[in-house]
Structure 1
């Protein structure tokens, strides 16, 4: 009897295997990368699993009212979760997340945050062009974005909000209970649960094919974009990352993934484990469709909606071409075609920028305090980009009144 998991699981396996195959060059034990029957079934069943702690809050909000529920979230965010009623689902979530797992290494996470800062604008470009744009080829995940109004909301707003959350999480002390990264991650986790429940009840949600909205396997591949793909992209674009630095970044994102509600069994302790997990996850994903083209073309034009101020037209169109060049490097001509992106784009920017970036970073790292200087400089560049993304608007991530 065939396992009862969603039809999308491995539905485009030959195409998915071709897309994922370059990862095999980076995996030491290639035989281990291929999932056996038990692992394949486990992955398929993960498409049906949500986040019990956050899902319980959705039920709780329906009982006490959303205004009261979000009020409790604000109280808990101030570190006063113990003041809430013992049966409060909000109290349960914050109590759980305030007590970190034993594997959390705060020193490693602090070092990992510096590695992220050191990436500067390059790190932001990797997440946008390699993580987000390339990810649009996974059409089943796109259904959640399209059905929750991602196109109407606008790619520029979503990029800005995600960037703000990323920067809050990777700021010094940002994941301490009560800090911005910690609190926002839990708010996003609850929003995901609300989206999961809302879409699950819609008549046009094909659960037989798609599984559960915002399910565990899809959350894992998003987490892998911020960790494993981010590390790979840095090296490709000329930012040196040692094995020990990569381990620190993985430690940081393993904890963020745990806070976000990704099941511990799907989180990876090392970059090698993460590459194996990414390869396997990509085999599961359904490939590009019409939603991929819609989302990709909207993201392609996202730089044109940024707030550059002086020389707005020139800088916005320049950045659009830079991003297209980087995207072409990461997804190739075939990826550009299936996403409906310009076929004439070539990776001119990485060809020029990568050697210069690598040389500059490598030399500066040799000097005493060089790495710290690069981290400070990179963080300033990221903060400047955040201002460009939000303009005069407050750099907020979630407007609770909208949900």
Structure 2
């Protein structure tokens, strides 16, 4: 599949027909509050839906209750094992590469500032981390899992933001396209897949070709469950590289919202890191993973740690070599990574299960300018967009 400016332009006018219709009906009938209240009791797949749930929501939940029929479960198991082997590194890449990559796209940064619930970085990062951990559980797609209900709620959350922005005339559709359009949904999928793999490579993590491909495949399954049109989504790592490069070239740039969100992210993790001596490591790691240009756009402060953090790949390479050569060392490091990920997630969630809800209102001060320019061991595919 080949991606062009024209093919991506066509995706900017398309949302998610099923979720959009569900949310529109809930608002028209004044049932959003009831829906949010009752959906707090729906947290595991296969559970009986509560009485009183609006019929349109019940129909939506029934239609989206199973994964796509085309899922290759062998690939999903390989993705799960890849995650187990690299969980702490993936968490690092999600926090310090994927999220800043979202913030460096101005209209995405402004959109992330749109709701009260997304204003708080700990909640946003906790939801992202918890969603990924739930996806990589052995029973993620079986009765009793938390992943499918989470995906169903995230899909409605996206639809509700589209509903508010378009109906309240707070989004320049002519200039920017549909809010959280198909291009942006696929772009988000790329940030959490190929860009995470890029960050792992930059950190010196040892990865197999099969593992990298399976990890990307798992996020394609996630995209399908979040309403991404599979006729236009990248099918493998090479296509993901092409789409990601073109998407970022079209949209990335500086914005006040992007800088504010990045500052919140840095502040959040500086609170998680014990003491203050290592606080500058957070910004230094972001700068190392996203590059100086993006880091400057996001106003990531420069510190002496910017040079020191470049030694991280060498240190991680030693640990990875131990893991490659020693089954006992591999088990010990996997266990340490698992505990570290749980500690980070527990710190962000404060031990609570995160609930997604349809926002009934957006921030009053939200606004978007239309003047946004469009401008073997696995190794990343080469860049596909040239200057």
Question: What range describes the TM-score normalised by the shorter chain of this pair?
Answer: 0.7 to 0.9
Gaps of 5+ in 1: 1-31
1:396 aligns with 2:354: yes
Q: Runs of 4 or more off by more than 4 Å in structure 1?
A: 72-78, 80-85, 368-374, 399-403
| Structure 2 contact 284–302 (Cα < 8 Å) conserved | no
1:230 to 1:121, Cα distance in 2 relative to 1, 3 A: same
| Structure 1 contact 237–350 (Cα < 8 Å) conserved | no
Residue 133 of structure 1 deviates from its aligned partner by 1.2
Rounded Cα–Cα distance in structure 2 between residues aligned with 1:150 and 1:82: 25
Rounded Cα–Cα distance in structure 2 between residues aligned with 1:331 and 1:232: 10
| Structure 2 contact 47–143 (Cα < 8 Å) conserved | no
1:44 aligns with 2:9: yes
1:286 to 1:336, Cα distance in 2 relative to 1, 3 A: closer
Residue 255 of structure 1 deviates from its aligned partner by 0.9
**Correspondence for 1:364 among 320, 323, 346:** 323
Residue 165 of structure 1 deviates from its aligned partner by 1.6
TM-score (norm 2): 0.82
1:337 aligns with 2:326: no
Aligned residue pairs total 358
| Structure 2 contact 285–306 (Cα < 8 Å) conserved | yes
1:119 to 1:213, Cα distance in 2 relative to 1, 3 A: same
| Structure 2 contact 160–358 (Cα < 8 Å) conserved | no
| Structure 1 contact 120–377 (Cα < 8 Å) conserved | no
| Structure 1 contact 240–361 (Cα < 8 Å) conserved | yes
TM-score (norm 1): 0.79
Rounded Cα–Cα distance in structure 1 between residues aligned with 2:59 and 2:249: 36
**Correspondence for 1:313 among 269, 275, 283:** 275
1:147 to 1:137, Cα distance in 2 relative to 1, 3 A: same
Superposed, 1:254-273 pairs within 5 Å as 254-273=220-239
Which residue number in structure 1 is paired with residue 313 of structure 2?
Answer: 354
1:278 aligns with 2:236: no
For residue 394 of structure 1, give the secondary structure of its aligned residue in structure 2. coil
For residue 192 of structure 2, give the secondary structure of its aligned residue in structure 1. helix
For residue 193 of structure 2, give the secondary structure of its aligned residue in structure 1. helix
**Correspondence for 1:123 among 84, 90, 93:** 90
For residue 264 of structure 1, give the secondary structure of its aligned residue in structure 2. coil
